[in-house]
Amino acid sequence: MRHAEVKRKTKETEVRLSLDLNGSGEAQVDTGVGFLDHMLVLFARHGLLGLTVKAKGDLEVDAHHTVEDVGICLGKALSDTIKDPSGLTRFGFAVVPMDESLAEVAVDCSGRPFLVYDVRLPHSRVGTFDVELVEEFFRAVAVNARLTLHINLRYGSNVHHGIEAMFKAFGRAVAQAVALDPRVKGVPSTKGMLET
Protein backbone atom coordinates (compact mmCIF):
# COMPACT_ATOMS: atom_id res chain seq x y z
CA MET A 1 0.00 0.00 0.00
CA ARG A 2 2.10 2.87 -1.28
CA HIS A 3 -0.93 4.93 -2.26
CA ALA A 4 -3.65 6.50 -0.12
CA GLU A 5 -6.71 8.66 -0.57
CA VAL A 6 -8.18 10.74 2.23
CA LYS A 7 -11.40 12.75 2.39
CA ARG A 8 -12.33 15.15 5.16
CA LYS A 9 -15.48 17.21 5.42
CA THR A 10 -16.33 19.57 8.24
CA LYS A 11 -18.48 22.68 8.57
CA GLU A 12 -15.32 24.67 7.80
CA THR A 13 -13.59 22.72 5.04
CA GLU A 14 -13.84 19.95 2.50
CA VAL A 15 -10.59 18.28 1.46
CA ARG A 16 -9.77 15.45 -0.93
CA LEU A 17 -6.17 14.32 -1.07
CA SER A 18 -4.33 11.45 -2.72
CA LEU A 19 -0.70 10.54 -2.13
CA ASP A 20 1.50 8.11 -4.06
CA LEU A 21 4.88 7.31 -2.51
CA ASN A 22 6.00 5.79 -5.83
CA GLY A 23 5.23 8.97 -7.76
CA SER A 24 7.45 11.05 -9.98
CA GLY A 25 7.02 14.46 -8.40
CA GLU A 26 3.81 15.37 -10.21
CA ALA A 27 1.28 17.41 -8.25
CA GLN A 28 -2.14 18.88 -8.87
CA VAL A 29 -3.03 21.17 -6.01
CA ASP A 30 -5.94 23.57 -5.59
CA THR A 31 -6.65 24.65 -2.01
CA GLY A 32 -7.73 28.22 -2.64
CA VAL A 33 -4.60 29.31 -0.76
CA GLY A 34 -2.06 30.16 -3.44
CA PHE A 35 1.06 30.09 -1.28
CA LEU A 36 0.12 26.71 0.23
CA ASP A 37 -0.48 25.34 -3.28
CA HIS A 38 3.01 26.47 -4.27
CA MET A 39 4.60 24.85 -1.21
CA LEU A 40 2.77 21.54 -1.71
CA VAL A 41 3.87 21.38 -5.33
CA LEU A 42 7.47 21.90 -4.17
CA PHE A 43 7.05 19.22 -1.48
CA ALA A 44 5.84 16.67 -4.05
CA ARG A 45 8.40 17.61 -6.67
CA HIS A 46 11.42 17.36 -4.40
CA GLY A 47 10.07 14.26 -2.62
CA LEU A 48 9.31 12.57 -5.96
CA LEU A 49 5.81 11.93 -4.67
CA GLY A 50 2.50 11.91 -6.50
CA LEU A 51 0.12 14.38 -4.87
CA THR A 52 -3.38 15.58 -5.66
CA VAL A 53 -5.19 18.00 -3.38
CA LYS A 54 -8.56 19.68 -3.83
CA ALA A 55 -9.78 21.79 -0.93
CA LYS A 56 -12.55 24.26 -0.24
CA GLY A 57 -12.56 26.17 3.00
CA ASP A 58 -13.95 29.16 4.82
CA LEU A 59 -11.38 31.53 3.35
CA GLU A 60 -13.73 34.43 4.06
CA VAL A 61 -12.68 33.90 7.69
CA ASP A 62 -9.00 33.22 6.97
CA ALA A 63 -6.82 30.38 5.71
CA HIS A 64 -6.24 28.71 9.09
CA HIS A 65 -8.84 25.93 8.83
CA THR A 66 -7.92 25.10 5.24
CA VAL A 67 -4.18 24.94 5.90
CA GLU A 68 -4.60 22.85 9.05
CA ASP A 69 -7.09 20.44 7.46
CA VAL A 70 -4.89 19.91 4.41
CA GLY A 71 -2.08 19.09 6.87
CA ILE A 72 -4.36 16.65 8.69
CA CYS A 73 -5.23 14.91 5.41
CA LEU A 74 -1.60 14.75 4.25
CA GLY A 75 -0.64 13.27 7.62
CA LYS A 76 -3.38 10.65 7.44
CA ALA A 77 -2.37 9.75 3.88
CA LEU A 78 1.26 9.32 4.96
CA SER A 79 0.14 7.14 7.86
CA ASP A 80 -2.00 5.00 5.56
CA THR A 81 0.82 4.49 3.07
CA ILE A 82 3.23 3.20 5.74
CA LYS A 83 0.83 1.09 7.84
CA ASP A 84 3.05 -1.91 7.17
CA PRO A 85 6.52 -0.67 8.13
CA SER A 86 8.32 -3.83 6.99
CA GLY A 87 11.42 -2.89 5.04
CA LEU A 88 10.95 0.82 5.71
CA THR A 89 14.08 2.98 5.88
CA ARG A 90 12.24 4.86 8.67
CA PHE A 91 14.57 7.86 9.02
CA GLY A 92 15.07 10.71 6.59
CA PHE A 93 17.13 13.88 6.70
CA ALA A 94 17.66 16.75 4.30
CA VAL A 95 19.46 20.07 4.28
CA VAL A 96 18.22 22.44 1.59
CA PRO A 97 19.43 25.94 0.73
CA MET A 98 17.25 28.54 -0.94
CA ASP A 99 19.46 31.48 -1.75
CA GLU A 100 20.33 33.02 1.65
CA SER A 101 18.16 30.57 3.65
CA LEU A 102 19.11 27.12 4.91
CA ALA A 103 16.59 24.58 6.24
CA GLU A 104 17.17 21.21 7.91
CA VAL A 105 14.43 18.61 8.28
CA ALA A 106 14.66 15.23 10.02
CA VAL A 107 11.87 12.65 9.95
CA ASP A 108 11.35 9.45 11.93
CA CYS A 109 8.37 7.25 10.99
CA SER A 110 8.32 6.24 14.63
CA GLY A 111 4.61 6.05 15.36
CA ARG A 112 5.26 8.70 18.03
CA PRO A 113 3.95 12.08 16.89
CA PHE A 114 6.19 14.96 17.86
CA LEU A 115 7.10 18.27 16.24
CA VAL A 116 10.15 20.39 16.97
CA TYR A 117 9.81 23.62 15.00
CA ASP A 118 12.92 25.73 15.51
CA VAL A 119 12.07 28.52 13.10
CA ARG A 120 12.44 32.21 13.76
CA LEU A 121 10.46 34.15 11.21
CA PRO A 122 8.78 37.50 11.76
CA HIS A 123 5.02 37.45 12.34
CA SER A 124 4.21 38.52 8.83
CA ARG A 125 2.52 37.50 5.61
CA VAL A 126 3.74 36.24 2.28
CA GLY A 127 1.17 37.83 0.03
CA THR A 128 -2.01 37.07 1.99
CA PHE A 129 -0.57 33.96 3.66
CA ASP A 130 -0.04 34.18 7.42
CA VAL A 131 3.45 32.83 8.19
CA GLU A 132 2.24 31.40 11.54
CA LEU A 133 0.22 28.82 9.58
CA VAL A 134 3.38 27.00 8.49
CA GLU A 135 3.88 25.63 12.00
CA GLU A 136 0.17 24.69 12.20
CA PHE A 137 0.48 22.78 8.93
CA PHE A 138 3.54 20.81 10.00
CA ARG A 139 2.03 20.03 13.42
CA ALA A 140 -1.10 18.65 11.75
CA VAL A 141 1.04 16.49 9.45
CA ALA A 142 3.25 15.17 12.27
CA VAL A 143 0.35 14.30 14.58
CA ASN A 144 -1.75 12.60 11.93
CA ALA A 145 1.14 10.78 10.25
CA ARG A 146 2.49 9.80 13.68
CA LEU A 147 5.90 11.17 12.70
CA THR A 148 8.66 12.60 14.80
CA LEU A 149 9.46 15.72 12.79
CA HIS A 150 12.23 18.22 13.43
CA ILE A 151 12.34 21.38 11.34
CA ASN A 152 15.14 23.88 11.75
CA LEU A 153 15.55 27.06 9.76
CA ARG A 154 19.21 27.73 10.41
CA TYR A 155 19.20 31.20 8.88
CA GLY A 156 17.65 33.36 6.22
CA SER A 157 16.33 36.87 5.82
CA ASN A 158 13.71 36.31 3.11
CA VAL A 159 10.55 34.76 4.58
CA HIS A 160 9.41 33.20 1.29
CA HIS A 161 12.83 31.61 0.76
CA GLY A 162 12.92 30.22 4.31
CA ILE A 163 9.52 28.56 4.04
CA GLU A 164 10.31 27.24 0.57
CA ALA A 165 13.53 25.66 1.83
CA MET A 166 11.57 23.95 4.64
CA PHE A 167 8.99 22.42 2.29
CA LYS A 168 11.66 21.21 -0.15
CA ALA A 169 13.66 19.68 2.70
CA PHE A 170 10.50 18.09 4.10
CA GLY A 171 9.82 16.46 0.74
CA ARG A 172 13.33 15.07 0.46
CA ALA A 173 13.38 13.84 4.07
CA VAL A 174 10.00 12.11 3.71
CA ALA A 175 11.08 10.44 0.46
CA GLN A 176 14.16 9.07 2.19
CA ALA A 177 12.25 7.90 5.28
CA VAL A 178 9.49 6.08 3.37
CA ALA A 179 11.87 4.38 0.93
CA LEU A 180 12.01 0.61 1.11
CA ASP A 181 15.42 -0.86 1.86
CA PRO A 182 15.82 -4.52 0.81
CA ARG A 183 18.38 -4.99 3.59
CA VAL A 184 15.79 -4.19 6.27
CA LYS A 185 14.09 -7.37 7.41
CA GLY A 186 10.77 -6.83 9.12
CA VAL A 187 10.10 -3.74 11.21
CA PRO A 188 13.01 -1.27 11.46
CA SER A 189 13.16 -1.28 15.26
CA THR A 190 14.95 -3.34 17.90
CA LYS A 191 11.58 -3.55 19.70
CA GLY A 192 10.13 -5.47 16.80
CA MET A 193 7.39 -2.86 16.45
CA LEU A 194 6.91 0.85 16.02
CA GLU A 195 4.82 2.62 18.64
CA THR A 196 1.11 2.72 17.92
**pLDDT at site 163:** 98
| DSSP per residue, 9-73 | E-SSEEEEEEEETT--S-EEEE-S-HHHHHHHHHHHHHHT-EEEEEEEE-TTT-SHHHHHHHHHH
* Domain boundaries, given as residue ranges, for the chain: 3-178
196 residues of the chain, pLDDT tens digit each: 699 999 999 999 999 999 999 999 999 999 999 999 999 999 999 999 999 999 999 999 999 999 999 999 999 999 999 887 888 899 999 999 999 999 999 999 989 999 999 999 988 999 999 999 999 999 999 999 999 999 999 999 999 999 999 999 999 999 999 998 888 776 655 565 667 5
Instruction: Check residue 54 and give its pLDDT.
Output: 98
CA angle at residue 130 from 126 to 135, to 5 degrees? 110
Parallel, antiparallel, or unpaired for β 50-57 and 27-30? parallel
| Cα–Cα dist 138/117, whole Å | 9
Q: Which CATH superfamily is domain 3-178 in?
A: Imidazole glycerol phosphate dehydratase; domain 1 (3.30.230.40)
The predicted pLDDT at position 189 comes to 57
Enter the pTM of the model.
0.94
